Amino acid sequence: MVNQDNNLENMRHTLSHILAAAVRELYPTTTKFGIGPAIDNGFYYDIDFGDIKVNEADLPKIEKKMRGIIARKLELKKRILSKEEALAWAKENGQDYKVELIEDLPEGSEISVYDLGDLFTDLCKGPHVENTSEVGAFKLIRVAGAYWRGDEKREMLTRIYGVAFATEEELEDYLKRQEEAKARDHRKLGKELDLFCSSDLVGSGLPLFTPRGTILRDMLNELAQGYRVRCGYRKVCIPHIANIDLYKTSGHLQKFPELLQFVSQESGDHLAIKPVSCPHHTQIFASAPRSYKELPVKYLETTMVYRDERKGELGGLSRVRAITQDDSHVFCTEDQVEQVFGELIESAKDLYSLVDMKLRLRLSFKDDGDGYIGDAGMWERAQNSIQKMADKFEMDYFIGIGEAAMYGPKMDFMAVDALGREWQLATVQLDYAMPERFGLEYTDVDGSKKTPIMVHCALIGSIERFMSVFIEHTGGWFPFWCAPEQIRIVTVNNTVSDYVAKIKDVLDGVALQKPIKNNEVRYSVDLSDDSLGKKIKRATELKIPAILIVGPKDAEEGIVSVRLRDKEEKVKLEDLANFLKDLK
């Protein structure tokens, strides 16, 4: 039986070769080829076009040439070359990037190349479909820049992306979902809904939140904090810079020196801008003697950390340099770990149910690399503990090797949005290493000194990244409780000001209570001379959940016409408060 996933990957891999062959036929004298792998949903090829500028307007021409090649039913045949033969082939064809790849291989290597009929030969491990008629359905979708081998100091190549599926129906379904994703793009909606902006003077990856966007941030953060406050977490506050010795002790400086951005100090102090907050919280725990009777000690803080991400990897709110984390840390005994994890798991499940996202769990374990701290025994104990808890709490999970944090394994909650895309957002992490590195201790029941275990947790993770997902998940139609502007009163004419005042008195007295306690209604009044239609259009474009339409007849009857996204209702003024409390 054919493995469908492997067969689809073979189709996509073959299409990258066909793309290169089409480009070679269209631009025979200028092209040099980098790499062209199969990827999720399709394929790409990195190409050096020399002085020729290729953009998305050229894609139909390239795609047409590809279809012509496919129609020829060319076979793909594998040949094995010695390293010397492969180098001779690459140099003879002027393929400098292939020469570099071949030179990096060990001496004596046997190297495979694939011939696409007599049309094109490429350095490749394979496998592929047998001939070009078997590649399924595809479409070229975009052009981007890509540094050769991911090094920003190297040549900038042109990357042509394509998508590919086994059938035309699957391709059409994918393209429709992509169109929906474009309409929901958080960068587009962020501008339309006046949530955030950027400035070249401020810098890339440093978004600026408007009053409306700040309300949304605050509501989401208050929601996440509320779960932990109810579980006994207490708020703390730390500075945005620290002595680099803090990060030497934690291990961040040695393992991830690129995370740290240093502050110049004439005083001679060696300071860095904080990339994480966990080492600071260890020092609050260490500031006083601790007894087993106090444990678990639970700290909560929403704070910014700073990481110098590559400019080319930044995008809207999804990847930024100033990251606001809804962070929390627990210091506890071995016997308390399960209870701490249980509280956080239940909190995450409830929170993501509230925002209508399904969850599954990734158990993020270490690989064989050296980017971790702690010994092998500690890691085995921690990973076994994480997996046992996932089993006990009956979570749907899979294991991600190489996804662990530097100091310990994690439970990463993978949230599925309205378009079926999966995002890693919430996380709960088990840490035996950092308490030992900082010499943390508490006095046990027998008077002996013990090292606590540390649990790290973020329920929504980076608030910026969560917002990017949440904006696209909702399409900008936020639930009533967190909408920046929940209600807009629009008047038919200027004769109803007295009645509008009565409506405002009702709104000013409403506290919604859920899911955030005592959150007052956020509303505005449109008293402009514009037509009612224009006023409603303005409010709808801002995706305001409830529009209260007020005219002379409404004032006379003591009612309010409430227009929601999917319906309109007449509500008596005395019932308006309770009506609003029931909105979701």
- DSSP bridge partners of 319: 315
- First-to-last CA distance in the chain? 49
β-strand 559-563 against 546-550: which pairing, if any? antiparallel
pLDDT digits 0-9 by tens, 125-152: 888 998 899 999 999 999 999 999 888 8
* 218, HSE (Cβ side, Cα atoms, 13 Å): 10
Mean model confidence pLDDT for the chain: 91
What are 204's two structure tokens?
A: 């890339």
What are 85's two structure tokens?
A: 């033969």
Please report the pLDDT score of residue 35 as a whole number. Answer: 93
pLDDT digits 0-9 by tens, 147-186: 998 888 899 999 999 999 999 999 999 999 889 999 999 9
Residues identified as active-site: 278, 307, 325, 327, 329, 410, 456
Cis geometry, peptide bond prior to residue 37 (ω within 30 degrees of 0)? no
Cα distance between residue 485 and residue 98, in whole Å: 56
- φ and ψ at residue 525, rounded to 5 degrees: -125, 130
DSSP H helical segments within 93-166, as ranges?
A: 96-103
What are 199's two structure tokens?
A: 């400035």
* DSSP letter assigned to residue 164: E
pLDDT digits 0-9 by tens, 207-243: 999 999 999 999 999 999 999 999 999 999 999 999 9
Using pLDDT thresholds of 50, 70 and 90, give the confidence band for residue 373: confident
Indicate whether 3 pLDDT > 50. Answer: no
- DSSP bridge partners of 570: 561
β-strand 487-491 against 546-550: which pairing, if any? parallel
How far CA 519 is from CA of 177, 350, 509, 511, 522, in Å, comes to: 36, 20, 11, 5, 9
pLDDT digits 0-9 by tens, 289-329: 999 999 999 999 999 999 887 776 777 999 999 999 999 99
Please report the pLDDT score of residue 380 as a whole number. Answer: 87
